[in-house]
């Protein structure tokens, strides 16, 4: 079990084809000291279980600690799958390393035939989902449905496409604000078992 005073770190989980230097995830990674990126073996093949396993392998290679995961597109699905399967890797008394999550522009599981392989109930941590009214990878109503299912605080960013460089992002200050909030909330939480009780109280 990590010392509770250890700093919370940020885990960046890109989607298909990785997030290039102009992507907001690359910008966000530079905003947080000791942040870490999950690197897939094949960025062009969206294999849900393998991508989820890479998240676990990435965390296994780090010292014990607490993490805020920031995922984009198919990376959101991989993170959800990791959270569902993560308990299988741990002793009953061990908490998951990922303690909070920001999901940005998740890809629609139906496009990959993955609905049944994703969690159908509240995620085991506080989470926030940012979605778009004009995202070609996920309709706004579908994103809202998944956010409700997963117990995620929902933010509609409006007409912003897939929230990637092609849509003009670049820096995404709202993602930094939410990530900072999650980090600060976790740092104030003394007992890991209380993490699921964290509440959101912010405006972006």
pLDDT digits (tens, 9 = 90+) for 78-90: 999 999 998 777 7
- Is the per-residue pLDDT at 192 higher than 70? no
Q: What is the pLDDT of residue 190?
A: 58
Q: What is the pLDDT of residue 2?
A: 46
Q: Where are the alpha helices (DSSP H) in the chain?
A: 24-31, 48-60, 74-85, 140-150, 173-188
Domains annotated on the chain, with CATH: 9-197 (3.40.50.1820)
The DSSP element (H or E) to which 157 belongs, if any, is none
Burial class (CB in 10 A: 0-12, 13-18, 19+), 3: exposed
Q: What is the pLDDT of residue 89?
A: 74
pLDDT-derived band at 3, boundaries 50, 70, 90 = very low
pLDDT digits (tens, 9 = 90+) for 100-124: 999 999 999 999 999 999 999 999 9
Q: What whole-number percentage of the chain has pLDDT above 70? A: 90
> Whole-prediction pTM value?
0.91
pLDDT digits (tens, 9 = 90+) for 147-165: 999 999 999 999 999 999 9
End-to-end CA gap in the chain: 34
Rounded to 5 degrees, what are φ and ψ at 58? -60, -45
Q: What is the pLDDT of residue 87?
A: 73
């Amino acid at each position: 079990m990590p010392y509770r005073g250890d700093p919370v770190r940020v885990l960046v989980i890109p989607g298909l084809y990785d997030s290039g230097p102009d992507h907001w995830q690359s910008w966000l990674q530079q905003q947080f000291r000791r942040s870490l990126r999950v690197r897939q073996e094949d960025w062009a093949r969206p294999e849900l279980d393998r991508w989820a396993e890479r998240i676990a392998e990435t965390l296994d290679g780090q010292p014990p600690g607490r993490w805020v995961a920031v995922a984009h597109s198919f990376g959101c699905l991989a993170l959800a799958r990791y959270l569902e399967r993560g308990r299988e890797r741990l002793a009953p008394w061990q908490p998951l390393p990922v303690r909070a999550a920001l999901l940005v522009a998740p890809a629609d599981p139906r496009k990959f035939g993955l609905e049944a392989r994703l969690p159908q109930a509240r995620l085991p941590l506080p989470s926030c989902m940012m979605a778009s009214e004009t995202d070609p990878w996920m309709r706004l109503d579908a994103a809202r449905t998944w956010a409700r299912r997963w117990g995620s605080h929902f933010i509609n960013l409006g007409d912003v496409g897939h929230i990637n460089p092609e849509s003009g992002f670049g820096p995404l200050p709202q993602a930094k604000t939410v990530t900072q909030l999650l980090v600060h909330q976790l740092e104030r939480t003394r007992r890991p078992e209380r993490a699921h009780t964290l509440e959101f109280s912010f405006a972006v």
